[in-house]
């Protein structure tokens, strides 16, 4: 039995997996990371814990504490030069975020060919895989909500117009400030994804889309889509399988 944990900037997602069967899963806000031990208290038979953590050392310590309660030492993944069929072309391979690495591995095993891997959360990552499984580079940009929040916080006149990100609606030509903020963030995200897709030069390649903002992006993207839930957790499972082989 394996416990998989994806600690992102906003949420901690986890899944309990046994021999390829996904038994249970959960989500916890990062600020409630101290409750992980309580959330895992009823889980039994866990032999391994595999973790992607991009939320910092304090969150890592909460995960270690939760692992201690289960008598299992968590294994925190780090991007490698090559793993699970994917080759890492990053200038310093280990500096690639563990979440991006796990997502790339999961996408490769789903597509087995050229694709764009988009994970849309607090940040949106747009990473490219070649036809032979080489990570050839990618982008990091603010997520849809973060774009709105950062612009609103930086401009006094915008603060009253949109007190919370997501209050606007998408219209082609916005006629309110709230809609303009929302539409601008959405169009910027879609534009970045579609420009990177064009650079791939393969109109048959899919965009593998995952993450919390997937629902707002999917209907605005003019590219072939493959929607996948929990891409990072799936990558963790593959890494665990190869490591134990």
| Number of neighbouring beta carbons within 10 Å of residue 174 | 16
C-alpha distances out from residue 33 to 5, 70, 234, Å: 12, 16, 21
Q: Assign 168 to helix, strand or coil.
A: coil
SS3 of the chain: helix, strand, coil, percent, to 5? 40, 25, 35
Tokens of 138: 């990618």
User: What is the Cα–Cα distance from 77 to 104, expressed in whole angstroms?
Assistant: 13
Residue closest to 4 by CA, chosen among 59, 54, 69, 48:
48
Long-range contacts of 10-15 (CB under 8 A, 24+ apart): 10/121, 10/122, 10/212, 11/121, 11/212, 12/36, 12/55, 12/59, 13/230, 13/232, 13/233, 14/39, 14/40, 14/233, 15/230, 15/233
**Could you say which of 99, 153, 202, 229 is catalytic?**
99
Catalytic annotation present for 99: yes
d(CA 232, CA 53): 10
Element (H, E) at 171: none
Catalytic residue annotation: 99
């Amino acid at each position: 039995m394996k416990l998989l944990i994806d600690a992102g900037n906003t949420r901690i997602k986890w899944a309990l997996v046994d021999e390829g069967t996904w038994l249970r899963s959960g989500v916890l806000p990062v600020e409630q990371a101290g409750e992980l031990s309580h959330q895992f208290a009823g889980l039994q038979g866990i032999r391994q814990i595999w973790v992607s953590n991009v939320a910092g050392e304090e969150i890592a310590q909460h995960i270690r504490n939760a692992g201690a309660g289960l008598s299992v030492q968590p294994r925190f993944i780090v991007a490698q030069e090559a793993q699970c069929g994917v080759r890492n072309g990053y200038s310093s391979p280990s500096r690639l975020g563990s979440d991006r690495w796990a997502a790339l591995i999961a996408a490769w095993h789903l597509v087995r060919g050229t694709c764009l891997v988009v994970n849309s959360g607090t940040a949106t990552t747009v990473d490219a895989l070649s036809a032979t499984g080489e990570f050839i580079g990618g982008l990091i940009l603010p997520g849809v909500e973060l774009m709105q929040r950062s612009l609103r916080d930086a401009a006094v006149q915008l603060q009253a117009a949109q007190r919370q990100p997501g209050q606007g609606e998408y219209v082609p030509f916005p006629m309110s400030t709230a809609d303009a903020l929302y539409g601008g963030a959405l169009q910027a995200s879609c534009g970045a994804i579609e420009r990177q897709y064009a650079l791939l030069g393969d109109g048959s390649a899919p965009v593998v889309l995952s993450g919390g903002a997937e629902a707002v992006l999917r209907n605005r993207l003019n590219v072939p889509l493959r929607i996948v839930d929990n891409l990072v957790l799936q990558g963790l499972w593959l890494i665990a399988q190869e490591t134990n082989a």
